[in-house]
Structure 1
Amino acid sequence: MAKTDSTGSTWRYRWAHRQNERRHRTYRSAEAAWRRRDDELRRLRALAADFQGSAAAGAGLPLELAADEVVLWVLPAAQLVEVRHTAVLPAPDLTVQPETATSLRPRRPDGVRVTDAGMAVITSRRLVLLGGRGRRDWAYGKMTGLAHDPAAPVTLMQVLDRRRTSGLMVPVDAAADFRFTLTLAFADAIEQRPAVLAQLDELIAEHAQLKPFRPAVATPGQARLSALVPGGRRTVAVAAAIALLVPAALIESSPSDPAGERAVAATPAPSASPVPALVRPAASVPAAPTAKPTEPKPKRTTPSPTPSAERRCGAPVNPMGYDFCGGYRVRKPAAEVCDFFDCAQEFWAGRGYLVQCRDGVVSLTGGQRSACAGHSGVRRTVWT
């Protein structure tokens, strides 16, 4: 007979209701994250297709433009930074990073100092800082190195007419647009805008394949008895381990029987020169029977519990065979992974392999620069 409450609904139906609520909540969160990134990629694609400036945009700026030069973007607040030591930057490329701003922190990297501040202007031929100490130009035709810091809103550049490496530090919320506009301006200068458009088309197509699927509906027939225990399967597994370890610990800690040891200690040692049995004193009293030496009882030892055939190395019990021991990275986890692991928010929006963060949650961002962002970093990889 099914166990029911006062309303007449069974615990299996309540379990199915909770499971469906949790699955749909996770799906809605993942779908919202996927939608945000899709909108951002399509916005960048439209911006790159219609990217152009105008001479009128530079009106009012204390900047003299060439005849064929137009202003593309203006940032009112930027800081001029210089590198204290000599650095060799990679050659400028056309890589688009739409998620840059999410992993940046408002800090200045080590070895970089701020020397001026002012207005940053991106034109069709150069990047200009109109600072309090004067003007600083980075012409695209003379640029030999360009690097965006992955953790700070700093962009460093090297040009042929300047020995020291310098660049700009911009506000975090403007870093993504600044870097994308600079990439487009440089691509136009070398006549490679189609390469940027092709890269964005590839990112959009790749992201379309990562759209989360609507989860399957849990039915009451899928409920297991472990659902009645607070904590579910984890509690059952811990209780089973304790039930095996406690008796073994009690047997190991019990002292061995001391009776045998006392009997051995009381037994007299044999004489070095025993008297022959035929040569005895006439009036001698028959010797009392010698007590038979008692051998000490062997100490009882309990074999250590046999390790389970299923290795996990600290991972929760799960039917997928995921563990922390080693094997293959999990890039497409099973749909029920969050039933056994504590999944991070926006789990299904990840674009990598399965990892456990330092705060205990699992994330699908392994191999990414922003892996476990907001969860204190990556702790270890989940294997299968």
Structure 2
Amino acid sequence: MAMTDSTGSTWRYRWAHRQNDRRQRAFRLADEAWRRRDDELRRLRTLAGSFHGSVEAGAGLPIELAPGEVVFWTLPAAQLVEVRHTAVLPAPELSVDPEPPVVRPRRPEGVKVVDAGLAVLTNRRLVLLGGRGRRDWTYGRMTGLSHDPGAPVTLIQVLDRRRTSGLLLPTGAVADFRFKLTLAFADAIEQRAAVVAQLDELIAEHEAVRPARPAVLTPAQARVSALLPGGRRTVAVGAALALIVPAMLFESDPPVRPGSDVASAATPAATATPPPPPPPPAPAVQVKPKPQRTRTAPTTTPSRKTTPQPAAA
């Protein structure tokens, strides 16, 4: 049986159920993403505070460790890459990316694979033991470091080598390698505390943006607009049309003077008569100039000669 409120309507309960379900699903998704990121930051914080490598990790490796040198990380499937022409790389920084980018298994343009082998990361250097020989990047001689944001490539510049070189790694090993390289470089310059402080700050910032659980909506909060298919948007569109349509009609049909409707209603409708044909064009009249009258000298006309009558006797 459907639940009804004091007004006897059930649509309010359906509206409240839909809204609460939608809000709870959105909250669960946001909360899960937040928890995953929080767990990752706290894992990195623990690693930065307690992980310092070990000498035992270098046992069996074809590399001789110097006194005090410890192994941080190893990977047997690394590739050595070189770049013939490149700009000066930025100086190495002790920065932890708060949002690690998603890298794709691709090789950037201009990067050439020249060897492959075992990569070893220690607190003093990065070494690649390849089939063609060994390549070392000592932190004390490192002048530039760049992690590609979209590819699993890290490029390094050192003082005693002209070409820029680096490593191409499997995508699953990129995040761990980059973080432990930061820790190893921090230990080399005695700045591990700076990395720990940076992670503490990231954790505090992340804690401040934790999603809040939404409040539960009640049927009494339902509005009549929820009955419409589009809700508030439909009401807003209808109100806009109610204002626009009369304005358009007003512009297309101008107002009539008062009394004209009455006068037109009182006047009988005239039968439609065809309009009279246009008058024929008037013939062109040429006006000749009036001749000017000139005075002429009087002429004597000969008078009729009368026959003289004989005088009476």
**Structure 1 length as normaliser, TM-score?**
0.61
The Cα of 1:152 is off from its aligned counterpart by: 1.2
Match of 1:91, as an amino acid?
A: A
Letter in 1 for 2:38: D
Is structure 2 residue 115 aligned with structure 1 residue 120?
Answer: no
The residue type equivalent to 1:225 in the other structure is V
Is 1:7 aligned to 2:6, yes or no?
no
Aligned equivalents of 1:177, 1:147: Cα separation in 2: 16
Q: Deviations over 1:20-48 (max 9, x none)?
A: 11111111111111111111111101101
Alignment-derived partner of residue 219 in structure 1: 218
State the 1:114 CA deviation: 1.6
Change in Cα spacing, 1:273 to 1:111, as seen in structure 2 (3 Å) is: same
User: 1:65-80 counterparts in 2 under 5 A?
Assistant: 65-80=65-80
Q: What CA distance in whole angstroms lies between the structure 2 residues aligned with 1:172 and 1:237?
A: 49
Query: Map of 1:1-384 to 2, 5 A cutoff?
Result: 7-9=2-4, 10-100=10-100, 102-237=101-236, 267=278
User: Cα 1:75–1:215, aligned 2, differ >3 Å: closer, same or farther?
Assistant: same
Structure-2 change in CA distance of 1:235 and 1:103 (3 Å): farther
- The 1-side partners of 2:182 and 2:134 are apart by 21
> Does the C-alpha gap of structure 1 residues 68 and 230 become closer, same or farther in structure 2, counting only changes over 3 Å?
same
* 8 Å Cα contact 1:84-1:111 kept in structure 2: yes
Quote how far apart the aligned CAs of 1:267 are: 4.5
CA distance in 1, matches of 2:283, 2:92: 97
Q: Work out whether residues 3 and 13 of structure 2, in 8 Å CA contact, stay in contact via their aligned partners in 1.
A: no
Measured after TM superposition, the shift of residue 264 of structure 1 is: 9.6
CA distance in 2 between counterparts of 1:192 and 1:269 reads 109
Which has the larger helix fraction? 2
2:64 partner amino acid: E
1:234 Cα deviation from its structure 2 partner: 3.6
Question: What displacement does 1:221 show?
Answer: 2.2
SS at 1:85 equivalent? coil
Instruction: Give the equivalent residue in structure 2 for 1:379.
Output: none
Q: Could you report, residue by residue, the CA deviation over 1:233-258 in whole angstroms, capped at 9, with x for unpaired residues?
A: 3445556667867x969x98xxxxxx
Kindly indicate whether the alpha-carbon contact (under 8 Å) linking 2:80 and 2:115 is maintained by their aligned counterparts in 1.
yes
8 A Cα contact 1:99 1:176, kept in partner: no
Q: What secondary structure does 1:24 align onto? A: helix
Distance 1:264 1:160 in 2: 103
Which residues of structure 2 form unaligned runs of 5+? 5-9, 253-273, 286-313
- CA deviations over 1:51-72 (Å, ceiling 9, x no partner): 2122221111111211221111
Q: What displacement does 1:155 show? A: 0.8
- Secondary structure of 2:95's counterpart equals coil
User: 1:117 corresponds to which letter in structure 2?
Assistant: A
Higher relative contact order (CA 8 A, sep 6+): 2
Which letter maps to 1:61?
Answer: L
Unaligned runs of 5+ in 1: 1-5, 253-262, 275-384
Q: Is the 8 A contact 1:229 1:235 kept in 2?
A: yes
**Distance in 2 of aligned mates of 1:108 and 1:159:** 22
Q: Give SS of 1:103's match.
A: coil
Distance 2:154 2:276 in 1: 85
3-state SS of paired residue (2:167): strand
Partners in 2 of 1:30 and 1:13 — Cα distance?
A: 26
Q: Deviations over 1:244-281 (max 9, x none)?
A: 67x969x98xxxxxxxxxx999655986979xxxxxxx
CA spacing shift, 1:266–1:240, aligned 2, 3 Å: farther
Note the C-alpha offset of 1:172.
1.4
Report how many aligned residue pairs link the two structures: 257
String of CA shifts for 1:88-119, please: whole Å, max 9, x gaps: 1000000001532x422221122212222112
Distance 2:190 2:208 in 1: 31
Take 1:58 and 1:80, find their aligned partners in 2: how far apart are those partners?
21
- Counterpart of 2:116, as a letter, is A
Identity of aligned residues (%): 70
